[in-house]
Amino acid sequence: MKFTKQFLGVLLVMGATAWGQKGDPIGQIELRVTDKYKAQVGEATKYSDMPKFEDTTTTKLRVNYGINSQPVPIHYKPEPISAARIRIERVPQLYKGMVRAGYGLYNSPFLDVYWNSGRTSKMSYGFWGEHYSFSKGVKETVYEKNGLSNNQLGGYYNRFYKNYSLRTKAFGKWDKYSYYGVDKLPNKSDSLGIPEVLGDPDFNWYRQYQVEATLSERNAKDLGWLSDLSFIYYNFSDKIDSKENLVDLHSDWALPAGKYQLDLGLGINYFGTSFDSIVKGNQSYFTFLANPSVSTTVKNMLFDFGFNLFLTSYKADWEINSQGNGYFLPVIKMQIPFVQDVITLKAGMKGDLKQNSYRQITKDNNYVVPGDTLKPTRNIDLYVGFHGILSASTSFNLIGGITFNKDMALYYRNPIYQRLDSMAVTHLDVRYSNNTSFYVRGELATNIKNNLQLNVFGELRTFDVDTELEAWHMPGFTGGINVDYTIKEKLKLNSSWDFVGARTAFASDLNPDLDNELPAYLDVGLGAEYLFNTRLSAFLNVTNLLNNKYDMYLGYKAQSINFLMGFTYKL
């Protein structure tokens, strides 16, 4: 009976529960919890300390597969844009020649002629000629005639072969410079015995004849290890029987060195100079040079390692024995991206030897005295700097460092020349001194819409010489601005502003009547050219626009303002 009651009770409960699950689950809560399985240490079982692995697969399973392509339609509708306008740009004609002729104040004719055959696949040739002169224009000098004359005539011939090219050039130069450097001294000329106006000053003609030939490969390894071979000969002389001959033979090689390439330059140089004026005698230099270098790149950093080796032999009539010297001058360069593709850091050391020949000295200074001893100048430059771009149209270059010069050439003039009569020698002479210089040099260039080009540059430099009291005629600062502007392809304007700082010319106690420091000066030039068409144009050039009176060297003043105008015609 008791069992029967319990059984009936269970059935009632089950029935009530079944009825309660139908319909809305009022008063019921369904809760489901899902969590990650967390192993318990106690559940781990260690089967073996040294388990063994055995591959029971004795044969490779054969797998058959294939790739079936199925095109998928792509619905792409580009956004409409305005139609492009195409403008026909006419390519400027390449003319074969040009004639530029003009005339200016102080009897200043100017002529520049150039013509070439136009390059073909086999050859090209041409010639050129130049002339510029003036007879006077230098104020405050006792010589009424104080001009110069520059003349040049030359030609070239190039021949192109399959594996190499041959380039030749020959020219002659005839330059006349007068020694007009005796300036007027107010109220002192009579007491010093210097007339108010003299006739023509003494002058010198520098004559040069030069031939060159270069053999170069057309593509890498066309000539094997040889890249190019060059030959130069010149004869240089002047009005007073000074003569100089130079022969130079140089070659460049690209030698394999494992994964690198060894660039090697080899050359020999000889020049002999004879003087037959103030100082008589012969002197000559023979030089052998070698400059190997290797370039390598490490993580966008470029390194160049090499050296310049010079072996020289010097012989002079006033020396009992010839003198031999050797110069080993390292060359180390590196370029490191400071801002990728924008600014590059550069640093290094460069050593070189500059041979001061009579031709080179007269090129640097047209008023030197013949007969000076010729010495090579050794230069070592330690530098660091940056170069790069500031915008799409603006670039810059900034560098600074220290240079060590041995036997640097300086130009000096005896300050007592004002006390001498008109027969006095008015040349400058060359003095050599060791020097140490600290310098900072910068340049900024910009191009605005291809119409305006602006270039600004400057250099600040110190001098510390040992065998001279000062670095004669060397400025501590130089700088300038060059501007070119084109208006509608018809009018071209240009201007140059060159500033040269003060320079010391001599020790002040040697001549109290003269200022031993040459003042700083600004030389401004202005040019304009109007294009009538693609062939014909007219130009006007103005030099020393501000009409500043300054000395280039002690007693040698610059020409006053000058206007030069003429025409240019393209052939």
Instruction: Please name which of 195, 198, 190, 185 lies closest in space to residue 144, comparing C-alpha atoms.
Output: 198
pLDDT tens by residue, 54-113: 656 556 667 677 777 777 777 777 787 877 777 777 767 788 999 999 999 999 999 999
CA distances from 368 to 11, 37, 203, 242, 410 (A): 136, 101, 11, 12, 11
Type and span of the H or E element at 72: none
Residue with tokens 């100089």: 244
Q: How many residues are present in the chain?
A: 571
138 contacts 557 by C-beta, under 8 angstroms? yes
Q: How far apart are CA 146 and CA 136, in angstroms?
A: 5
**486 - beta bridge partners?**
492
Q: How far apart are CA 345 and CA 329, in angstroms?
A: 23
Query: Helix, strand, or coil here: 526?
Result: strand
pLDDT tens by residue, 502-512: 999 999 998 88
Query: If you average pLDDT over residues 236-263, what whole number do you get?
Result: 94
pLDDT tens by residue, 277-320: 666 789 999 999 999 999 999 988 999 999 999 999 999 887 77
Which CATH number does 376-571 carry? 2.40.170.20
Query: Helix, strand, or coil here: 322?
Result: coil
- Predicted TM-score (pTM) of this structure: 0.79
Comparing 104-118, 121-135, 186-200, which segment has the lowest mean pLDDT?
A: 186-200
